[in-house]
Structure 1
Amino acid sequence: MAAADGVLPHVPESRAAVPTTSSRPRPAQSRRQAAGTKRKYQASSEAPPAKRRSETSFLPAKKTAAKETPRTFKGKAQKTFSPKRSSAGASDGNQERKPGIKTSSLFKNNPEIPQLHRPVVKQVQEKVFTSDAFQALDLHPHLISTINTVLKMSSMTSVQKQSIPVLLEGRDALVRSQTGSGKTLAYCIPVVQSLQAMKSKIQRGDGPYALILVPTRELALQSFDTVQKLLKPFTWIVPGVLMGGEKRKSEKARLRKGINILISTPGRLVDHIKSTKNIHFRRIQWLILDEADRILDLGFEKDITVILNAINAECQERQNVLLSATLTEGVTWLADISLHDPVSISVLDESHDQSNPKSKAIPEASLPQASDELDSFAIPASLEQYVTVVPSKLRLVSLAGFILQKCKFERDQKMIIFFSSCELVDFHYNLFLQTLLSGSGALAPGALPCASTRLKFLRLHGDLEQEERTAVFQEFSRSKTGVLLCTGTWVPSLVWEDPTCRGATKPVRHNY
């Protein structure tokens, strides 16, 4: 009985250890394996792994307990272990909510808005139109008739009143005036007047007599449209445009046939200078740099240098005009290398409107400095600018509320919103189409019944195809209402230079 008592406790242990292995080894094999393991770890001066010992000793107890628990407490097994899990989750949540750190919602616990210390800048209200008519100028009668009937303009603007007589005299000029003041016609009218008055009639095959450089494709199309309208009585003068997004082969064909007034962006013109053999500047009489500050902002300094070198190599005597809405150091540098004894025309206050442009002729040595731009600035009277400083998480909802307030519940509002990248334009465009135009929300009490029809979104950026960009630009120019989401700082010059937009609508710029 003693032997049996000593044997009986040993048998269940060996049986309980069996399920931990996939097959039951024979006693001889197990002894050989144990001896081999012992020799192996004695040779490597390491102890046998403790993991295997723990598996053989503790796993059976765990597995038997696991088997016995469902049998004994079948319905209470989950209740027994769930408090441990819930307590662990609660402890994790307490660790996430650390004391002293506030988790803010959208409209609560917002950070304090800092005070922005900015220099005081004087805003000058520049008078756009004057009472002087184009008939007072020494222009061709057909040109005056075209301005009155086709362009539907009878009185000159302030910059046109000062610039056109100076340019007709053959002087170089640096024209500084606000966006939307009519600078395009200020140089287009003298160009057309001088070319149609040439004794030897211009032939198409002569090549370009006037070169107009603009920063963007849309401004190139707008300037080309204006020149085309002015040239309706003078069909022998052929205008043309070169810009990115068009086929080089078709542009080369037009250059081969001949273009007398060439409008181009700097990058595409440099491309043709390097690759097109039939382009030349032997008869250039006008070189006009429109929106010079934007040309420099977009990084065309090297291209302008290449173009000036190409023109100077073939033609030394010409009339140069530089137009800009702002006077920066880059514009001053560009005026130094391109203008010769220029007349500085700056329309900033009412005294300039009443002055004689001849008496305001200023030599190049006394050109206004770029620091003057910090003292004052001028914007069109029909333009309203809004600047709002809000926390980052409230920018989107603030912008959406601003759009609804101005464009959905007010009449005749046109808005331009600038973004820093093309991706942001696409994101907000798709978001506003799905939310602000969904029509799911009810109108506020007292709202206009057809207010939802006035809200229209358009987008414009460099990643769009040229055909789509042109269509968007023309649609926004013709429309009386709408919200244009765009990139860049050149869009205002495209829209507010359009006479159809001036006075009829109130463009709104929201710095976002």
Structure 2
Amino acid sequence: RNLPQMKSVVQKQTIPALLSGRDALVRSQTGSGKTLSYAVPLVQSLQSVQPKVSRSDGPLALVIVPTRELALQTFQTVQKLLKPFTWIVPGVLMGGEKRKAEKARIRKGINILISTPGRLVDHIRNTLSIAFSAVRWLVLDEADRTLDLGFEKDLTVVLNSLNSTGPARQNVLLSATLTQGVTRLADVCLKDPVSIHISGSASSDATAPAAVTSDPPPLAGQSESFVVPAALKQFVVVVPSKLRLVCLAAFILEKCKFSGDNKLIVFVSSCEAVEFLHSLFTAVLSERPANHKLRFLRLHGNMKQEERSEVFEEFSGSGSGVLLCTDVAARGLDLPQVTWIIQYTPPTSAAEYVHRVGRTARIGGRGNGLLFLAPTETAFVTELANHNISLSDMKLQDLLSCLMMDDTYKGRGNYHSQVTLEQEVRERATVLQTDFENFVHSNAQSLQAAKKALQSFLRAYTTYPTHLKHIFHIRSLHLGHAAKSFGLRDAPQGLSSSSGPRGSRGPGTKGPTRKQGRKQAGSPKKKKKKQEEEE
């Protein structure tokens, strides 16, 4: 009852191919309904097995996904499909859960096993009762994201365990983007696959272009074109660093207070920044009586699994609100009726941009995306254009002008008739910025949280890939202005070399040496991401 009634294009192309027994490489835009495209034929195949499947058969299907939230969501989808087939038992393994309880479930028997890679490898090495001798299906969902997070070695362990024992199986690899890593993985685990590429709208409109071939997938290049949902409107706003915080706040107020019900997801670069923005906006924006409907939630990899699940469920079920998150939520999750995706911190690639905006305009719905860029970062628009992604300009003045609708932010001074609308808007923005700074400096705890968030932002800024360094370089940041975007009145003195930019960034602020900068920038990004998303 809760599953989509109309099949999407990817489902119409993929389900018949999988029911025919073929291996498949499915490339389709995020939000197109890929989960059901493999779950339906998988369940159909297992329910028809004679004699009937029993728990004691152990895993007959293995589904590997990159993150805990996607594992849980996939498990819930499979559960719904299995309602008529009570003899087939699904189960989920993921970081954050108690290993002892998972071992007990494995011993009792799980037929459709959904897992994150790291936790599955943990059980392969430490749980004697886990066996893959009967596995008939292997599904690698969101394969590109799994590789991005550094799980390639874990996938090798899993594939070796499957290949060392068990019958012939049907293999499915699904991805929103086709990277060289995904192509290599397809070569290893797929046998004579049908290649399905959906390049149009995710809706159930059968006229959307699709390609089904038996040819091997082409190698991906840097200039690979990406497909975003047809009903997605994409915008970019160029914002000086010192105005970033008030611009984000003004946009949230406009969409959640003055424009009716909207659901927003705001992507930032670190767990510390999520925590900082959550406490700041809750205290300064939500606490005002006129803003009592404003609801801020947070989601990042340092939260306990139980808390992450609660936030995911609450935001999924709400009709409005703001979810502040890291890229832990950027892939595969189906969060209903999200109307705006705000990329407050720019993504590290065009592929990551596509994964983020895929949280809206899902399965034919409508949605909007807004990318924040600093004046020094505007060349990223050209980088996206090289990947067939075009953005419309949103004016900074238009974004801030909603502050005119709330006299809470009216300037303290007496205005003469000559004051222009633009000057009045900037004055109100200054009032809001001052409110933020007053909160940050009101106690040692909030001040420390702001400094930690700034440091983590600077650390993340050093991790942009080499081919984007001309756009996102730590040397181009003005530390004093960046500090303003975290509610700090001045650039902190003596930022540690492990978090500050290379070289001095503002009056009286000593940055690390070039050698220290190199050392700090050398920490493996994939390892950091993998730890955040699964552990």
| Shared fold per TM-score greater than 0.5 | yes
Identify the TM-score tier after normalising by the shorter chain.
0.5 to 0.7
Indicate yes or no: 2:131 matched with 1:292: no
Cα separation, partners in 2 of 1:222 and 1:493, compared to 1, 3 Å: same
Question: Could you tell me which of 232, 240, 249 is aligned with 2:100?
Answer: 249
Name the structure 2 match of 1:38. none
| Distance in 1 between residues matched to 2:37 and 2:98, nearest whole Å | 31
Contact 1:417 1:509 in 2 (8 A): no
Structure 1 position 173 matched with structure 2 position 24: yes
Judged with a 3 Å threshold, the aligned counterparts in structure 2 of structure 1 residues 334 and 376 are, in CA distance, closer, same or farther, namely same
**Paired amino acid for 2:303:** L
* Equivalent residue number for residue 83 of structure 2: 232
1:509/1:214 Cα in 2 relative to 1: closer, same or farther (>3 Å)?
farther
Q: CA 1:506/1:482 → structure 2, altered by over 3 Å: closer, same or farther?
A: farther
Partners of 1:242 and 1:152 in 2: CA distance: 23
Shift of 1:296: 0.9
Calculate percent identity across the aligned residue pairs: 60
**1:101-250 aligned within 5 A:** 150-250=1-101
Matched, 1:370 2:209: no
Q: CA deviation at 1:420?
A: 1.0
State the AA in 1 paired with 2:168: E
User: Quick check: 1:314 aligned with 2:165?
Assistant: yes
Would you say the 8 A contact 2:286–2:293 is kept in 1?
A: no
Query: Which amino acid letter does the alignment assign opposite residue 286 of structure 2?
Result: L
Question: Residue 255 of structure 2 contacts residue 261 of structure 2 at CA under 8 Å; is this kept in 1?
Answer: no
Distance 1:186 1:279 in 2: 27
Task: Give the alignment's TM-score, normalised by structure 2.
Answer: 0.61
User: What amino acid is the match of 2:228?
Assistant: I
* Distance of aligned partners of 1:171 and 1:497 in 2 relative to their CA distance in 1, 3 Å threshold: farther
Is 1:422 the equivalent of 2:261? no
Q: Which runs of 5+ in 1 are unaligned?
A: 1-149, 443-451
The answer (yes or no) to whether the contact 1:252–1:276 under 8 Å persists in 2 is yes
Give CA deviations for 1:449-500 in whole Å, capped at 9, x if unaligned: xxx3442111000111111100100111111211110011643521358999
**Are 2:302 and 1:463 aligned?**
yes
**Cα pair distance change 1:337/1:363, threshold 3 Å:** same
Pairing partner for 1:345 from 166, 188, 196: 196
The answer (yes or no) to whether the contact 1:181–1:497 under 8 Å persists in 2 is no
SS of the aligned residue for 1:198 comes to coil
Does 2:331 correspond to 1:331? no
Query: Is it true that 1:259 corresponds to 2:98 in the alignment?
Result: no
Cα displacement (A) at 1:417: 1.0
Q: What corresponds to 2:238 in structure 1?
A: 389
What one-letter code is carried by the residue in structure 1 that aligns with 2:129? N
State the superposition RMSD in angstroms.
2.6
SS at match of 1:299: coil
Shift of 1:197: 0.7
**C-alpha separation in 1, matches of 2:107 and 2:118:** 20
Match of 1:302 in 2: 153
What is the CA distance between 1:180 and its match in structure 2?
1.2
Q: CA–CA distance in 1 between the matches of 2:259 and 2:218? A: 42
Shift of 1:369: 2.8
Q: Structure 1 length as normaliser, TM-score?
A: 0.64
1:57 equivalent in structure 2: none
* Superposed displacement of residue 399, structure 1: 1.3
Matched residue, 2:284 = 435
Q: Contact 1:425–1:459 at 8 Å: present in 2 too?
A: yes
In 1, the alpha carbon distance for the partners of 2:238 and 2:303 equals 31
The answer (yes or no) to whether the contact 2:140–2:174 under 8 Å persists in 1 is yes
Alpha-carbon offset, residue 153 of structure 1: 2.8
Q: Deviations over 1:319-351 (max 9, x none)?
A: 110111111111111111111111111110379
Q: How many residues align?
A: 349
Which residue in the other structure is 2:347 paired with?
Answer: none
Structure with max Cα Rg: 1
Aligned with 1:315: secondary structure?
coil
Residue 486 of structure 1 corresponds to 325
**Cα distance in 2, alignment partners of residues 350 and 153 from structure 1:** 16
For 1:260 and 1:334, how far apart are their aligned partners in 2?
Answer: 25
Measured in 2, the distance between the counterparts of 1:504 and 1:380 equals 9
* Rounded Cα–Cα distance in structure 1 between residues aligned with 2:307 and 2:4: 30
The one-letter code matched in structure 2 to 1:406 is K
1 CA distance for matches of 2:332 and 2:117? 17
